[in-house]
Structure 1
Amino acid sequence: MAEWLYEAGIGEARAALVERGDIVEMAVERDNERGPRAGAIVTARLTRKADASGRGLVTLADGATAQLTPVPAGLTEGSALLVEISREALPEGTGVKPPRARIAPHGARPAAGPDLLARITASGVSVRHISRGPDLLEQNGWSEALEEAASGIVARPQAMLRISLTPAMTLIDVDGAGSAADLAIAGARLAGETIRRFAIAGSIGIDLPTLTGKAERQAAAAALDAVLPQPFERTGVNGFGFLQIVRRKVRPSLPDRLAADPLLAAALALLRQAERATGHGALTIQAHPAVIARIESRQDWLDMLTTRIGATVGLREDARLAISGGHASRSQS
């Protein structure tokens, strides 16, 4: 039976949909994310009418800008309006792509968009709230899946994926041994599972082995269809083994979030580890200086950690450690 595991962690909330011991979907939501969530109804003012792309610009109440599409005819610059956020701000290289908005439905009132907990609750699948005690996320492979999302390497005996983020699309390269037909089927299936697990959306390209036969190409496409839930649109597999998928993107994927700020990802993962460190007495967190600096910059995180573990927390820099190589230990075993 499927079940959502939900953890209100320090600095971020985490959720994993588990089926038969496997994480089939996962998500994080940081407490410092920029801009309103998808589905939020917010007041705005038209800053720029539609350009050649058909998109206008609005300034939100917090001063941030959002793309507006479509722009109602006759609306003048400076007009006040109520908009619904249709896509959240997205990381793009070292910058941020602004959110998208549309005119709010008639009769709507300002409201925050649903948070992670609200979204998984609305799915109709049971939600189990977890905190200290047995680490159910780890038992189902949480850290391993995070490492795959961060590195872009997803390896299984049947196939290996290399995920690359580009401004235009997410590219997934399939590699492995065996016949081209078998590898294409295994790779397409693994790609579909990975797209779902990491909430990859927008334009997605999958590079499968070259397939000469129509039946082989159709079998690979069917393998993906069997594991990736609708809605999405896709092309067929062409003779070069390339398949394109389009899924509606309303918020960053897990790889998007991890790639946008690796230091933040490392700091939050380390705080999770620190909260669950075994033993008693004072807690020491040892990590790369850049990670320690990120944790030190948020006294609220340290205060929350101190409260949750009931002990003092010390931070120790170690430049020999990799960004993701930090660890936490208690003074008494």
Structure 2
Amino acid sequence: MRKFIRILAIIYLVYLGLVLLVVTPALYFLPAKYVKDYLDRDLHADFILFNPFTLSLEARKLALPDRDGSPFVSLDSASVNLSLASIWHPGIVFDRVAVLGLQADIKQAPDGGFNFDDMIPPEDPDAPPAESTEIPGVTIDQLDFQAQRLMFSSAAREKPFSTQLDNIAINVQGLSTVLEEGKPYRLDAYGEDGGAVHWEGEISIPRGRSEGTLKLVTLHIPQLWRLLEPWVAFEVRSGDLSIGGHYVLEWQEQLAYRISDGEISIDSVDIQPKAADTPADTRVSLGNLALSGIALDSGKQHLDIDGLEIAELAVRGWSEGSETSLTQLFAVNLPAGDSPDPAPEEPS
């Protein structure tokens, strides 16, 4: 027995020595060298450390700047904690995986390229098609993801566009590709204008099923309109959108979904021509539109709405011959590349 304990002690000391003399120095310079060699970018970090006692890998103050040195991706800390339960549980088990304080700035150049295109390896046309593989067995007892700010800007449009999400938090308990029992999750995100997303429920990856509630609270409609601005003739000057309901989503064999107790509320909407007086004397305003008791079943292809309320709807426009100002106001002009191909002519 003493000999066995002595052997275990020697193995443990060798393990600690390897971590101290090999792993720790390697983590000091290898990640930055790899990023420089393969991505031609500079990786900065306060430290990247492996803890031999808790089997955890932790990095603090990581930053990957853009090629011109401007901010691209950074985070306060990231950690992965391997669990000894991997010895007797199927697959790999992690006690905790955490990414905290993430900030990302995604930019689209005038030519349509993104500031991460150089990080994506080119496709090999001669490479054989990839074989489908099973999802690896992974269980994460606690998954924490927190982003301070995710930003996106595009200079590829005639009018530059930018938007951002703040204070995104995702928490999942017992996420697993092996265990079929559904585990709880929660997602919270906040927009730059104060809108919020709250999403919580249970998810089972092996069963291909998720059930929970989703709420989009006071999303500012002008922010959504900015996504469509280059292709529409109208401007949404004000308005708020709120959506909520209970859902069941299944994707194991085929995609199926059910929604119950759904609600949609649109408040204080003001729509006017984007260009002054084009079309003239045309405007749509809405005090409130509320849909309640929404039930949708994709399998039955059935939709029920228990209640519809509309308040303070005002529409102003004109009609002259075959032209109506409202048709002009809500016309959509997609770029030539996004237009559907014309139907082939019938042979004569």
TM range (shorter): under 0.3
Greater share of helix residues, 1 or 2? 1
Greater share of strand residues, 1 or 2? 2
Q: Does 1 or 2 have the higher relative contact order (CA < 8 Å, sep 6+)?
A: 1
- TM-score, normalised with respect to structure 1: 0.18
